A and B are shown apart, each in its own frame.
Chain A
Amino acid sequence: MISYITRRLFLMIPTLIGITFLVFLIVAMSPGGIGAALKGSAGAVESDAGANARAVQEAYLEDRYGLDDPVIVQYGRWLARIFPVQFGTRDQRDPTGEVIRYPKDLKVPVLAGEWYGSEADLELPDRMPDYIFDHTWDEIHAAGEEEQEAMRESRNLAYRAAANEYAGARAAYITARTNIEQTLVEYANAEGLKKAVTKDNKPRPGVLRRTGINTQNEFYEKVQSDGAEAIRALQEARIARERVGAIYRAKPYPEVGLALGPVAIVPPDFGRSFTRGQPVFKLIGEALPRTLLLNLIAIPIIYFIAIPSGMLAATRQGTWIDVGSGALFVALWSIPIVWAGVLALGYLAHKDYLGAFPVSQLHAPEANSFTFLPSVDANGNWSRGYALDTLWHVCLPVACLVYGGFAVLSKQTRAAMLDNFNADYVRTAKAKGVAGRDIVYKHVFRNSLLPLITMFASLFPALLSGSVVIERIFTVQGMGHLIIEAINLRDRELLLANVLMISTVNLIALLIADILYALADPRITYD
């Protein structure tokens, strides 16, 4: 059994890679591609060539998030970051908790050294010796608490200064690079080379290279001057980068994870959301408890009502209990959640009608000042407390989550029980003198567990994925909301983290179901 579980856990790794890659690929192929929301055009064809400022911004963001890299490279980089084992230079973590990496190499502007400038102009600057801080890490660790703080801060300041300088240089270079690209587009248009311009209004170096440069073109001079400017900005940015690199190599911040010789065990880094600028981990950490709160109340209610009523329907087959519960559950199941949710809000929550329930959110705005349990303060004012407040807010969303869920589970239970009621071993048990109740609970139900376990495996992942519709109606910022946002905005980090989490939970639920199968039915073994 242990070896089986281990094998299954290891098999999850390639499965998860496959799932995340597939999802990533689909999003990358969708209109606008990864990070569509960041780009001003959002995938639409934009003919206004004057939007230079926007192009610069796009170029900056592409550079910052690596969006200009091929999709495979982007995925590989993400995979390397979440992989718990790292090779080579280890990442460092700054005091705010952000992971700092060695600055990425800068891309050379298109056709540099060919149409403008020379190979010699593009040579990389010399590698600088590693920066030497005022204090070594050993000295810092030996120092007192306050001194230590100052020492750490001086390292931080040194790195920040260099990083800011590099950021400025890089921004200037990106502007210059955007300029030369736009000039090349203008050049191509003047030449009448339609194929040399992409839909995004960018030059295609391959096409241009094949036609060769035309010195008679009206933009020839501009290409030369803008190109020289871009190369100059590039070299300046490279020197600034080298300065940051020298400081980085001297380790201004503590390294992440645990070193084991050449490799390091590191906590997975899910990165930052493009659109919200916050770490994905933090975003999920905020949304997940809301979804879990709703589902951890809703799913047990579904199980505790559907399974006993299914059992009851099976034991009283054909009576009004059986027919009535079946009809009621199917009727409930048929009510669209959108409609039921809006009706519940309108009639039960709206203050012009019943007004008995809150309209939105999971807590009152002032909930943080509440005590946990209901209490009466010194002035005799009653306060409902945090727990009761939450319960009160949760009522309507949970009711909407629950009402449609009874039918399937109850019918499944009933069918499984009926299958077993007619089994030969039930007759044997009866012939032994076992009482009717014991036959139902001990013999029939135990044999009816397998379909219920299968249901569990399919219901469990819903715990985390949340319900988009209910979260929209009741304004709950849960997982469903987060996932839809990630998909709509093609937020790479957020999306991949969500997909990874949900598919992991899915695979684990399947594994648990398989283990439960073996526990419920001795005929199933995995050895």
Chain B
Amino acid sequence: MNTATTTHPDAASRKPTAEEPILQVKDLAVSFDNGKGPRIQAVDGVRMSVYPRQTLAVVGESGCGKSVTAMSALRLVPTPPGRYDRGELLYNDGRSVVNVLELSDKQMQRIRGDEIAMIFQEPMTSLNPVYTIGDQILEAILLHQHVKVKEAVEIAVKAMDDVGIPQPRERLKAYPHQFSGGMRQRVMIAMALACQPRLLLADEPTTALDVTIQAQILELLNDLRRTRSMGMMLITHDLGVVAENADVICVMYAGRVVEYANVFELFENPLHPYTRGLFASIPKMHQKRHRLVTISDVVDDEEQFRKLPGAEDGVRPWWPWHDPPKDLRSRDYAAGDYYLQEVKEDHWVGVWRTEAVSEHESRPPDLTYRISDDPTRQKE
């Protein structure tokens, strides 16, 4: 039964496949100065895309480059020490497509907060302690919308009401230290959503919160995403959150995308050993084990790397800690030994650029999939 058409009429009126992605990351590489040592390559050859009404979950362990990728979309990586080495970040503002990395500071400031908004993971420190909540939300509204202060206050009150802050009008005069962590994160979200952005970058929005608040906030973000046809990049390392909320999952490791597929495909059929290790390490109910499976239990097993479709042709999953295969055909740029291949339809895996894929150019990861549009996958 297709409930999507009844619950979200606007969703049905559009043809999702015909839509353009809001954000397309093409071969992004970001590195950081490391004093006397070699530069640290935080992100190298990352590709992904986000569509309206879609949640792209970026998963991976700490330091794998998730946040740097998201911050690059707003060009918030401090330079120096950071540097954009390669790649494009194509943002579609509905009229034209621009490369975020090539915009002037002025143009960038216009996009920030207005069209692309970001929620950071530290609600306790992400608000300026010396200004009231109202000042900080109004600042964003007055910067981007040509409204009078009175109207801006109404917008702010509405935004705070939307995120479930009780008595929003009185709370405008409160200072951040008078709020709890969950309330502060709501304020952050209200601030991000006040200007009705087209793309929301949520960098671990619920990591610092307890589980009940976490569920509320994610529910809220999902509602807003559907009603405003906003795209969302959800960065997290909580696989439970991913399973509940994501449409498409991008698994990252060591600055590169190792696997990219829609949520059902990825959970049912993980292809990269790292992803399998990630899933295997989740403790399961009704399963008594002396010790959990660790990721290294999986990735240390050479056999795991020979199970990929096309393995018999010499396609090997990319893994930085392994010696590259003997038939490597490295290209002459930083991530030239690595290649994101569509190993089967709508499922990408990061592989070594071996003989088998040396001349192959599969299409970049690009999935318009949304659970809400999928008639076979409706939540009960």
Interface of A, secondary structure class, is: helix
B85 contacts partner chain A, Cβ-Cβ < 8 Å:
no
Chain A residues whose C-beta falls within 8 Å of the C-beta of B139 in the assembled complex: 429, 432, 434
Q: In the complex the two chains form, is A432's CB within 8 Å of B143's CB?
A: yes
Q: In the complex the two chains form, is B130's CB within 8 Å of A522's CB?
A: yes
Q: In the complex the two chains form, is B113's CB within 8 Å of A432's CB?
A: yes
- Once A432-B139, A522-B175, A523-B175 are accepted as A-B contacts, the answer to whether A424 and B112 lie under 8 Å apart by CB is no
Q: In the complex the two chains form, is A424's CB within 8 Å of B125's CB?
A: yes
- Once A522-B175, A523-B177 are accepted as A-B contacts, the answer to whether A431 and B130 lie under 8 Å apart by CB is no
Chain B residues whose C-beta falls within 8 Å of the C-beta of A522 in the assembled complex: 129-130, 132, 175, 177
A135 contacts partner chain B, Cβ-Cβ < 8 Å:
no
Q: Which of A423, A431, A520, A521 is within 8 Å of B112, CB to CB? A: A431
- Report Cα–Cα, A431/B139, bound state, in Å: 12
A428 contacts partner chain B, Cβ-Cβ < 8 Å:
yes
In the assembled complex, the CB of A323 is this many whole angstroms from the nearest CB of chain B, namely 16
- A430, A433, A436, A522: which has the most chain B beta carbons within 10 Å? A433
A1 contacts partner chain B, Cβ-Cβ < 8 Å:
no
Q: In the complex the two chains form, is B127's CB within 8 Å of A521's CB?
A: no
- Report Cα–Cα, A447/B125, bound state, in Å: 13
Which residues 412-440 of A have a CB within 8 angstroms of B? Answer: 423-425, 427-436
- Report Cα–Cα, A522/B105, bound state, in Å: 32
Q: Which of A427, A434, A436, A520 is within 8 Å of B126, CB to CB? A: A427
B114 contacts partner chain A, Cβ-Cβ < 8 Å:
yes
- A432, A520, A522: which has the most chain B beta carbons within 10 Å? A432
A446 contacts partner chain B, Cβ-Cβ < 8 Å:
yes
Q: In the complex the two chains form, is B125's CB within 8 Å of A423's CB?
A: yes
- Once A424-B126, A447-B128, A522-B130 are accepted as A-B contacts, the answer to whether A431 and B117 lie under 8 Å apart by CB is yes
- Report Cα–Cα, A20/B113, bound state, in Å: 59
- Report Cα–Cα, A432/B188, bound state, in Å: 11
Q: Which residue of B lies closest to A449 (CB)?
A: B130
Q: In the complex the two chains form, is B188's CB within 8 Å of A428's CB?
A: yes
Q: In the complex the two chains form, is B111's CB within 8 Å of A425's CB?
A: no
- Report Cα–Cα, A430/B109, bound state, in Å: 8
Q: In the complex the two chains form, is A433's CB within 8 Å of B109's CB?
A: yes
Q: In the complex the two chains form, is A428's CB within 8 Å of B126's CB?
A: yes
Chain B residues whose C-beta falls within 8 Å of the C-beta of A423 in the assembled complex: 125
Q: Which of B120, B125, B129, B144 is within 8 Å of A523, CB to CB? A: B129
Q: In the complex the two chains form, is B175's CB within 8 Å of A424's CB?
A: no
- Once A433-B113, A434-B109, A522-B175 are accepted as A-B contacts, the answer to whether A428 and B128 lie under 8 Å apart by CB is yes
Which residues 168-190 of B have a CB within 8 angstroms of A? Answer: 175, 177, 188
CB 8 Å contact bits of A388-414 with B (1 = contact, 0 = none): 000000000000000000000000000
- Report Cα–Cα, A112/B25, bound state, in Å: 108
A204 contacts partner chain B, Cβ-Cβ < 8 Å:
no
B residues near A, CB below 8 A? 74, 76, 105, 109-114, 117-118, 120, 122, 125-132, 139-140, 143-144, 175, 177, 188, 191-192
Other than the given A425-B129, A443-B128, 15 more pairs (CB < 8 A) read A424-B122, A427-B126, A428-B127, A428-B188, A428-B191, A430-B76, A430-B112, A431-B113, A432-B191, A433-B110, A433-B143, A434-B143, A436-B105, A520-B130, A521-B129
Q: List 13 A-B contacts (CB under 8 A).
A: A424-B120, A424-B125, A425-B126, A425-B128, A427-B76, A428-B191, A429-B128, A431-B74, A434-B109, A434-B143, A447-B130, A521-B130, A523-B129
